[in-house]
């Protein structure tokens, strides 16, 4: 099992991962540099670094960057990243087989070891004490260890005094949630990597959206990239707000859009949602898809599921085809004008 962990870790660390050094991450990055350079066998505190902070604050990103730099400096480094799920075999093993002894021998083969989300793993004192002994043994063998947690050790009531003391013996760094300026900086950096150009109002609105974590902002950028193929200049704030609107923020439903479009074109909702390629149904269906996506902000996957289990690609193609037909069909533009006027009162609730 641990061979799989090491292979997965090595692959992740060899892959290029852009890194944005925000002010909130600087001390944590310096701590990882200290851990990487630790070579004094008498200074065991230098072998353990604990990064704590809220979900999505960048703890894992900092750890991966530190391990990656260690691998670049010394090609023969043996790193590993452990997640809570990686402990399943150990914790479910028969105690009579001395699983902890085996686990210690295997993990001690690493030069640097990251243990992610330790506070999610430990649920009882007996396990906490066992992990404390495990840490002692690894540090005695000069294994450098980085641990991530959502709370500092002293704020984890499930930890035994022994484990809390052991973690406090290392260097503890608290990563704060990103400030508004840092979130804007991260969005500018991420948009540049994604070949997107965000206007200031779009960037500022995105930076204010909960939960405001780096992970959440990265997810928003990925969504923009999928909806606005790069290179793209994104300057329509309302379109971005519609894209990220929650169902509770939408006054329009897919069913309501389909009903209004069906009535306008003189077809049934059933015919709109069917797989028929008949022209009389295809153009109204394309119109409904376009309005659902661009007017009401539904994701293409949601639209495809509603209209006959179509794929994201199929919906995107339908929207483009409708725009092409619209450009050369005055009567279709009149249909669309009436639909938009009818739907205007039911559009997105104010997101700002």
Out of 35-49, 127-141, 146-160, 185-199, least confident range: 35-49
> Is residue 112 assigned to a domain?
yes
Q: Which of 157, 174, 191 is the last residue of a domain?
A: 174
* pLDDT given at position 133: 96
- Tell me if residue 334 falls in helix, strand or coil: helix
If one counts the domains in the chain, the total is 3
Q: Per-residue pLDDT tens for 13-23?
A: 888 889 999 99
Out of 152-156, 202-206, 260-264, 325-329, least confident range: 325-329
Backbone φ and ψ for 306, nearest 5 degrees, come out as -70, -40
Range of the domain at 7: 2-174
User: Is 331 exposed, middle or buried (CB count within 10 Å of its CB: 0-12, 13-18, 19+)?
Assistant: exposed
Shared domain check, 318 and 223: no
Average pLDDT over every residue of 41-58: 84
DSSP 8-state symbol, 274: S
> Is residue 352 assigned to a domain?
no
Shared domain check, 126 and 64: yes
* pLDDT given at position 296: 79
Shared domain check, 273 and 239: no
* pLDDT given at position 156: 94
Contacts of 180 (CB under 8 A, 6+ apart): 207, 208
Q: Sorting pLDDT into bands at 50, 70 and 90, what band is 161?
A: very high
Which residue, 240, 190, 246, is CA-closest to 215? 190
Has residue 39 got a pLDDT over 80? Answer: no
Q: Would you say how long the chain is, in residues?
A: 352
* pLDDT given at position 251: 65
* pLDDT given at position 38: 67
Tell me how far apart the alpha carbons of residues 20 and 72 are, in angstroms, rounded to a whole number. Answer: 18
Q: Per-residue pLDDT tens for 59-74?
A: 999 999 999 998 887 7
Tell me how far apart the alpha carbons of residues 212 and 214 are, in angstroms, rounded to a whole number. Answer: 7
Q: Sorting pLDDT into bands at 50, 70 and 90, what band is 276?
A: confident
Tell me how far apart the alpha carbons of residues 292 and 253 are, in angstroms, rounded to a whole number. Answer: 8
* pLDDT given at position 350: 41
Shared domain check, 259 and 155: no
> Is residue 156 assigned to a domain?
yes
* pLDDT given at position 347: 54
Q: CA of 149: how far to CAs of 30, 63, 166, 172, in Å?
A: 18, 12, 14, 10
Residues of the chain with pLDDT > 70: what percent?
93
Shared domain check, 196 and 117: no
Has residue 246 got a pLDDT over 70? Answer: no
Contact between 209 and 245 under an 8 Å Cβ cutoff? The reply is no
């Amino acid at each position: 099992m641990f061979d799989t962990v090491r292979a997965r870790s090595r692959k992740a660390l060899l892959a290029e991962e852009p890194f944005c050094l925000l002010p909130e991450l600087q001390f944590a990055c310096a701590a990882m540099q200290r851990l990487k350079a630790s070579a004094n066998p008498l200074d065991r505190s230098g072998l353990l670094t604990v990064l704590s902070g809220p979900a999505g604050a960048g703890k894992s990103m900092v750890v991966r960057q530190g391990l990656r730099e260690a691998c670049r400096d010394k090609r023969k480094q043996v790193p590993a990243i452990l997640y809570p799920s990686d402990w399943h075999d150990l914790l479910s093993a028969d105690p009579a087989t001395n699983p902890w002894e085996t686990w210690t021998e295997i993990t001690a083969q690493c030069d640097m070891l990251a243990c992610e989300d330790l506070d999610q793993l430990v649920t009882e004192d007996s396990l906490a004490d066992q992990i404390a002994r495990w840490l002692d043994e690894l540090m005695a063998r000069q294994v450098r260890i980085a641990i991530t947690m959502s709370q500092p050790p002293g704020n984890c009531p499930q930890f035994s005094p022994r484990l809390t003391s052991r973690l406090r013996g290392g260097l503890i760094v608290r990563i704060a949630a990103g400030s508004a300026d840092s979130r804007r900086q991260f969005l500018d950096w991420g948009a540049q990597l994604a070949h997107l150009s965000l206007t200031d109002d779009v960037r500022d609105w995105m930076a204010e959206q909960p939960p405001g974590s780096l992970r959440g902002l990265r997810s928003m950028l990925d969504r923009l990239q999928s909806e606005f193929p790069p290179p793209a200049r994104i300057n329509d704030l309302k379109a971005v707000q519609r894209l990220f609107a929650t169902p509770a923020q939408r006054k329009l439903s897919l069913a309501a859009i389909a009903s209004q479009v069906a009535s306008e074109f003189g077809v049934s909702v059933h015919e709109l949602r069917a797989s028929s390629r008949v022209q009389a149904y295809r153009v109204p269906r394309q119109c409904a898809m376009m309005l659902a996506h661009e007017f009401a902000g539904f994701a293409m996957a949601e639209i495809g599921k509603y209209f006959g289990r179509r794929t994201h690609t199929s919906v995107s193609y339908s929207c483009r085809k409708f725009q092409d037909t619209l450009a050369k069909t005055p009567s279709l533009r009149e249909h669309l004008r009436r639909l938009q006027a009818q739907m205007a009162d039911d559009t997105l609730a104010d997101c700002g």
